[in-house]
Amino acid sequence: MSSRPLRRSPAPHAAPPASIILMALVAFLALITGSVTAASFPSGPAEPFRVLVYSGGAHASLDTVRAGVDAVRTLGALNGFGVEATDDPDVFDDDRLARFHAIVFNGAAPAPQDQDQDQDQEGGREGGGLDAQARAALRTYIRAGGGWVGLHGAAAGAHDWDWYEGLVGATVDRATPVQTGRVEVLDHAHPSTVTLPDLWERTEEWYNWRTDPAGTVHTLAGIRMRDGIAGLDEGADHPWSWCQDYDGGRSWFTAGGGAAQDFRDGAFLSHLLGGIEWAAGAKPGGCTATRTGSFQRTPLAASGLTDPVDVAVASDRRVFVAQRTGQLKVVDQRTMKVSTALDLAYAPGMAGRTDGLTGLALDPDFAENNWLYLLRSESRRAGTPRPGTPRSGSLRSDTPSPGTAGYRLALSRFTADGDTVDPASEKRLLTLPARRPAAGGPPPSGSLAFDRAGRLYVGTGGISLPPASGAPDDAQGSVLRITPQDDGTYTVPAGNRLDPGTAGARPEIYATGLRAPYRFTVDPANATLLAAGTGAGGAVEYVRITEAGRVGRPYCSGAPPVERRTAHRGATAPAPPGRPPGPRRPARCTTTTRRTSTAPSSPSTSPGSG
């Protein structure tokens, strides 16, 4: 990285004459009436704006502190804003703070007040902590619209001050040894990340947070946890830099800046400059909280559900929930009441790892016809299908394969009547052969999804072991595509893998070669099918299917994040005790675009393949 300080195009340096006259008038009136207090803060920065760099009680080395001060001074000189630096906590006074549009905590954090007092008695204010009066001044400054910038160690300390922890967004739990890892940029529009690469390699000590800040701040960049940084243990979502609107002001934080070398890194200087400009109000940037600020989280049920595997929301806001145990539940969002709409009355052990109720989809015209579709396993002892028999010539024989248990997979349409579903309303569309071997079974599979044209995609998974998918008449490890009809039958849409009438082929098959697809989504703009499933060795596979054909391998495949895991629907099982997590396998990414080829599809790069 280049170490040359960054310079950006300066904004105009002079205020219009009318603004000067207005400011003078306001100042004159303030002297007469006393209505403008020293704690008031300008609503927008005049150019050049001014920044205070505070390093009192910094947790970093003296070289790092000096490098941080010098870097901000240089950025100010090149980009047209003023900079003052101090390590004297007496600067936290209403009058003195009102001169600045942003305060940079250069690795500094206000230590707990009892710790401060001990340090004050031993050697003056070397602790850099803020007493009650200084804390009140910082709070008043932020509430008046001020900006705050925190570097690295600014998140350490002041555990006795909840307001400051909220200003930062998180506090440090513990740090890892210095090591190399990567930061993944999540927001490329913010001025502090607009010039950064998607993946940014850095060598530093990495922080674990006492509380995950992701729910209350806008995450700008996160740690690439799949790289396996030793000592980080907070899961796949680990913020590294963020911003937020806080208590009337603006707060921007980066976990970088903990070493002098950071301030010689051109990418980090660009990152820091953008954070200062945003915090000072000189550059715009959206900082609404990444999760709770953008979405409203409403718990639907605290009880009454067992092993839910799929969900669908009707236009009237009823929430249908499919349970692997064979019940279809309905949640009334007005009363939060959970009721059972349908019970398939599974025998004990029926809803095993790959058996049970696995897929749910509402008809595109559900508001008018009340039709819903269920994908489920059933015992062959269940008898013949209900009225509305399978389509003539439906997929392959219903005779179990040798060595398999007596189960089959069924796709049916039911009609809802309010919060109940009459079992007698079933219209059977498909019946597939044995679901799993008598001993063990394939990974979880089975999913349903409609596209905008009313075509229904059905995931079957590896129905027997070893997988035999790929034959033109074999539905195992496949995605089927059909168009349900009003009378409970279906037609085969144009564009499936093989045309209707092809000898020895089943035209319902849209894509083959998958192991265990268990969740679908369809892009409404172009009907691209995105499927997630579990592959060999517990690897998670992501498949992107743009046309009918054979999926030679997944769009993206790799070991589960952080540690070796075997995926189950709704749960994960860690590696056996004493066995260290395995090395991360490189992701392999492809896309399927050919209709009839049986060769692996051409590779295509995924954004997440690094």
**Which tops the pLDDT comparison, 529 or 564?**
529
Judged by average pLDDT, the poorest of 319-333, 410-424, 501-515 is 501-515
Q: Where are the domains of the chain?
A: 17-35+48-171+237-279, 308-592
What rounded mean pLDDT belongs to the chain? 76
Share of the chain above pLDDT 90, in %: 45
Q: Using one digit for the tens of pLDDT, what is the confidence trace for 352-384?
A: 555 688 899 999 999 999 999 999 888 755 444
Rounded to whole angstroms, how far apart are CA atoms 28 and 30?
A: 5
Q: How far is CA 323 from CA 258, 345, 352, 430, 460, in A?
A: 49, 12, 12, 20, 18
The whole-number pLDDT of residue 408 equals 78
CB atoms closer than 10 angstroms to residue 249? 23
Specify which of 128-132, 477-481, 577-581 reaches the highest per-range mean pLDDT: 477-481
Q: Which residues contact 449 (CB under 8 A, 6 or more apart)?
A: 361, 456, 457, 520, 521, 522, 529
Pairing of strands 102-105, 147-151: parallel
Helix (H) or strand (E) holding 525: none
Q: Using one digit for the tens of pLDDT, what is the confidence trace for 288-310?
A: 875 554 556 677 877 788 888 89
The whole-number pLDDT of residue 301 equals 78
SS3 call for 95: helix
What CATH superfamily is the domain 308-592?
TolB, C-terminal domain (2.120.10.30)
Q: How confident is the model at residue 6 (pLDDT cuts 50, 70, 90)?
A: low
SS3 call for 322: strand
Judged by average pLDDT, the poorest of 3-7, 135-139, 333-337, 457-461 is 3-7
Give the residue from 553, 354, 546 showing the smallest Cα distance to 447.
Answer: 354
**Which tops the pLDDT comparison, 539 or 469?**
539
Q: Which residues contact 335 (CB under 8 A, 6 or more apart)?
A: none
Give the residue from 171, 49, 27, 34 showing the smallest Cα distance to 109.
Answer: 171
The whole-number pLDDT of residue 575 equals 37
| Average pLDDT estimate for 145-173 | 91
Our measurement of the distance from residue 201's CA atom to the centroid of its chain's CA atoms, rounded to an integer in Å, reads 21
Q: How far is CA 53 from CA 77, 191, 246, 247, in A?
A: 14, 20, 20, 21
Rounded to whole angstroms, how far apart are CA atoms 511 and 551?
A: 7
| Average pLDDT estimate for 530-556 | 73
> For residue 601, what is the DSSP state?
P
pLDDT at 521 over 80: yes
pLDDT at 229 over 50: yes
**Which tops the pLDDT comparison, 465 or 162?**
162
The whole-number pLDDT of residue 181 equals 94
Rounded to whole angstroms, how far apart are CA atoms 106 and 413?
A: 63
The whole-number pLDDT of residue 62 equals 92
> For residue 253, what is the DSSP state?
E
The whole-number pLDDT of residue 22 equals 38
Rounded to whole angstroms, how far apart are CA atoms 222 and 219?
A: 7
Rounded to whole angstroms, how far apart are CA atoms 42 and 57?
A: 29
Judged by average pLDDT, the poorest of 99-108, 172-181, 386-395, 522-531 is 386-395
**Which tops the pLDDT comparison, 529 or 608?**
529
Q: Using one digit for the tens of pLDDT, what is the confidence trace for 44-85?
A: 444 579 999 999 877 788 999 999 999 999 999 999 999 999
Helix (H) or strand (E) holding 309: strand 308-313
The whole-number pLDDT of residue 400 equals 41
The whole-number pLDDT of residue 367 equals 95
Rounded to whole angstroms, how far apart are CA atoms 34 and 45?
A: 23
Rounded to whole angstroms, how far apart are CA atoms 68 and 105?
A: 10
Judged by average pLDDT, the poorest of 121-130, 471-480, 552-561, 582-591 is 582-591
Rounded to whole angstroms, how far apart are CA atoms 117 and 131?
A: 9
The whole-number pLDDT of residue 295 equals 57
The whole-number pLDDT of residue 487 equals 95
| Average pLDDT estimate for 162-188 | 93
The whole-number pLDDT of residue 610 equals 33
How much is the pTM?
Answer: 0.51
What CATH superfamily is the domain 17-35+48-171+237-279?
Class I glutamine amidotransferase (GATase) domain (3.40.50.880)
> For residue 214, what is the DSSP state?
G
SS3 call for 121: helix
> CB of 46 within 8 A of CB of 280?
no
Q: Using one digit for the tens of pLDDT, what is the confidence trace for 199-225?
A: 999 999 999 999 889 878 999 999 988
Rounded to whole angstroms, how far apart are CA atoms 221 and 241?
A: 5
| Average pLDDT estimate for 2-21 | 42
Q: Which residues contact 387 (CB under 8 A, 6 or more apart)?
A: 426
For CA atoms 500, 506, 507, 508, the dihedral sign is positive
Determine the straight-line distance between the first and last CA of the chain, rounded to whole angstroms.
20
pLDDT at 607 over 90: no
Q: How confident is the model at residue 159 (pLDDT cuts 50, 70, 90)?
A: confident
The whole-number pLDDT of residue 446 equals 82
| Average pLDDT estimate for 519-546 | 80
Pairing of strands 179-185, 218-223: antiparallel
Residue showing tokens 């299908």: 385
pLDDT at 463 over 70: no
Q: How confident is the model at residue 579 (pLDDT cuts 50, 70, 90)?
A: very low
Share of the chain above pLDDT 70, in %: 67
Q: How confident is the model at residue 118 (pLDDT cuts 50, 70, 90)?
A: very low
SS3 call for 425: helix
DSSP string, 452-515: TTS-EEEE----SSS--BTBTT--TT-EEEEEE-TTS-EEPPTTSSS-TT-TT--TTEEEE--S
Rounded to whole angstroms, how far apart are CA atoms 256 and 202?
A: 9
Q: Which residues contact 406 (CB under 8 A, 6 or more apart)?
A: 379, 380, 381, 400, 434
The whole-number pLDDT of residue 335 equals 86
**Which tops the pLDDT comparison, 206 or 33?**
206
Judged by average pLDDT, the poorest of 53-62, 147-156, 373-382, 519-528 is 373-382
